[in-house]
Structure 1
C-alpha cells in the first residue's frame, strides 16, 4: 500500500519494508514519559485494528520475556534522547527473538536508533526549548505508525484523514492555550502550595495523566502525585478525597468520557471546587481535526497546555523546572 505524501518518510519506509500481513502481535515498549504515549497509541490501535497488542515498561518487557514475542511480532519503542538504557536493551532483546523493531527518538544516531531495525526521528520542545509543530511530535509519529499498520493489515485506510488532522493540530493546541489560560491563572498559585496533587483520566488521555504525575509534578516540582484511572478511582483511591485534596482531571471526549464524568461528579460532591482542576476537551475548538480522531489528539493537547500551567506553578514555588532536578540526567550509576 502507498501512504500519503505528508507521512513521515521514516515511517513510510519502515512500514513498506515490513510484511504487516504476517504480524500476529504488536508490543508498545518504553519508560517514563515515552511510555505514556504508548497508552493512547494502544487505545487507537484497539479501536481500529484486529491485531492484539500490549504495553510494557521496557525493563519488565525483558524481565518477563513474553512467549508471544518472535518473528511474527512488531515491537515499537520510544526514548526521547535515545539513551534510555532499559529501552535500548529491550530493542536488542526483541531483535534477538526475531521481532521487527521500530524506535522513536529525537536522535536516530543514538543507542536506541542503532539498536532497532527502523529508527524514526521526532521533535520535542521539552528538552530543547525550541517550539515545534505538533505534527512532528512523538504522538503524531506513533499515530502515523498505528494507522499505517491498520491500513496495511486490511483495516480501514484512514491514513489520509489522519495526516490531514495532524497537520492542523498545532493551530488547535494554540487555541486550547487561550481556552485554558483562565484556569491557569485561577489555580496556579493555590496548587503551588500543595504537597500532593493527584491526576486522573481514562481512555486515550490516561497516558497524559500518568506522564504529568510522574514526569512533571514528581520529577520537576517534587510534588507527590499518582495517576489514577477514572474508574479505578472508585475501587480504593476515592477514600483519600476530602475538602483539602487537589486533583487534575483530564476529561476526554473519546468513548470513555462517561468514566471521567462520573469521577468529576464525585470529586465535586466531596471535594472543593478550588482544589479540582478540570480540563474538559468538550470546551475546545477542534476545527480541522476529523471527528474520528478528535478523542485521540486530546491527550497531546492536555499535556502540551499543562506545560504552561506547570511553569506558572513553578514560578510561584520559586523552583526551576528541568535544571532543578536532583537525580535525572545528573547521575549515571543507577
Structure 2
C-alpha cells in the first residue's frame, strides 16, 4: 500500500483495544465513588472523534453525558462540571493549548480526569488523574481515538447494567485491528480514484448522518481544509435539506458517507435527492466492506472507524496527486494566533 506501514498500524490499533480493561477499571472505580456525569472535552479533531461515543451514551444510557468546546468551557465553566464528574480529554500531541488550559480549569473542580494521549511526557500525558497513552500519529489517530472512546462508553453501559452483551462486543472489537488492515488492502486499488474526485474540485459538500456524521465533519475540516487547503461544507444529512440543498447544482461535488447504524435512512435521503441535481455525487458506504466475525450491531458501532481507515488510504493518494503533503501547513502551529 502507498506510503503505509502495516505493522505500525496494527501496533497502534491493537494498543487502543488493549487499553480497554484499564479504562473499564477506572470508569468502574469512578462510578463506585458516586460519579454523576461524564464530560467528553477536547479541541479540534480530537474532540470531534469523541462524538460517536457521546451519541451512544445519549441514546442508550440515562447517565448524563456532556460535551463542549474546550476554549469556551475555560471561559464559562459549567454548572454540571463538579467534583462528581468524569472528564475525558483527548489530545494526540498531549500539548494542545486549549486542552492544557482546560485541564487546569477542570482540576479546580476536583473532577476525575482521564486523558487520552499519544505521547506520555507532555502536559496532558502527565496531568491527568488517569493518563492513557497509546502512541499514534496523524494517519493512525482516528481509529485509535474512536476505539478508546467507544470502550469508555461501553464501560459505562456495562457498569450501569444498561447493556447485556458488552463482553461479546469487546471480543469483536479485539478482532478489528487486523480486519481494518484487510479493509485497507481491499480498497487500495480504488483509493486513487476517490482521491482524484477530491482533487478535481476546489469545493465539496461533505455529509453523513448518525455516528458517521462526526467523521464527515472531521474529514472536511481536519483533512481537506487543514491538510489540503480544499474548501468544504460539512453538513449533517438532516440539515442538508434546510439550507445546503440550495447550493446543489450541476458541477457541485457532494460527498456522502454512509454508515450502518439506525440513522442510515437519513443518508439514503441525500443519496436519492442529489443525483437529480448534480452530476458529482460520490458515496462511500461502510456496508461495502467485509468484516468477517463482526455482528450487525457492532458493524453499526464501528462504522466511523471503518470510514476513517478507508479515508486514510484516500488521503495518502490525495497528497501525492496534488503534490501537497498532509504535513504542510501555512498557519497551524506555525504562527501566533
TM-score where L is the length of structure 1: 0.89
Aligned to 2:169: 162
The one of 65, 72, 79 equivalent to 1:60 is 72
For residues 7 and 115 of structure 1, the distance between their equivalents in structure 2, rounded to whole angstroms, comes to 18
Q: Deviations over 1:93-137 (max 9, x none)?
A: 12211221111001233111233211111232426xxx7996xx1
Aligned to 1:330: 334
For residues 211 and 218 of structure 1, the distance between their equivalents in structure 2, rounded to whole angstroms, comes to 10
The secondary structure found in structure 1 opposite 2:305 is helix
For residues 276 and 70 of structure 1, the distance between their equivalents in structure 2, rounded to whole angstroms, comes to 46
Measured after TM superposition, the shift of residue 159 of structure 1 is 3.5
Q: Which runs of 5+ in 1 are unaligned?
A: none
Report how many aligned residue pairs link the two structures.
321
For residues 165 and 328 of structure 1, the distance between their equivalents in structure 2, rounded to whole angstroms, comes to 38
Moved over 6 A (4+): none
The one of 40, 48, 51 equivalent to 1:28 is 40
The secondary structure found in structure 1 opposite 2:227 is helix
Q: Equivalences for 1:170-185 in 2 at 5 Å?
A: 170-181=177-188, 183-185=190-192
TM-score where L is the length of structure 2: 0.88
Q: Equivalences for 1:12-27 in 2 at 5 Å?
A: 12-20=24-32, 22-27=34-39
1:207 paired to 2:214: yes
1:144 paired to 2:151: yes
Q: Which runs of 5+ in 2 are unaligned?
A: 1-16
> Contact 1:122/1:138 (CA < 8 Å) preserved in 2?
no
Q: Deviations over 1:145-204 (max 9, x none)?
A: 111122122322543223212211123323333454454343322431311122111111
For residues 92 and 80 of structure 1, the distance between their equivalents in structure 2, rounded to whole angstroms, comes to 18
For residues 156 and 115 of structure 2, the distance between their equivalents in structure 1, rounded to whole angstroms, comes to 15
Aligned to 1:83: 95
The secondary structure found in structure 2 opposite 1:198 is strand
The one of 256, 274, 277 equivalent to 1:267 is 274
Q: Deviations over 1:33-73 (max 9, x none)?
A: 10121111112222332112122121122223111111222
Distance 1:46-1:329 versus aligned 2 partners, 3 A rule: same
> Contact 1:69/1:97 (CA < 8 Å) preserved in 2?
yes
For residues 102 and 141 of structure 2, the distance between their equivalents in structure 1, rounded to whole angstroms, comes to 29
1:197 paired to 2:201: no
Measured after TM superposition, the shift of residue 8 of structure 1 is 3.3
Aligned to 1:95: 107
Aligned to 1:38: 50
Measured after TM superposition, the shift of residue 16 of structure 1 is 4.2
Measured after TM superposition, the shift of residue 230 of structure 1 is 0.4
For residues 269 and 22 of structure 1, the distance between their equivalents in structure 2, rounded to whole angstroms, comes to 54
For residues 187 and 113 of structure 1, the distance between their equivalents in structure 2, rounded to whole angstroms, comes to 37
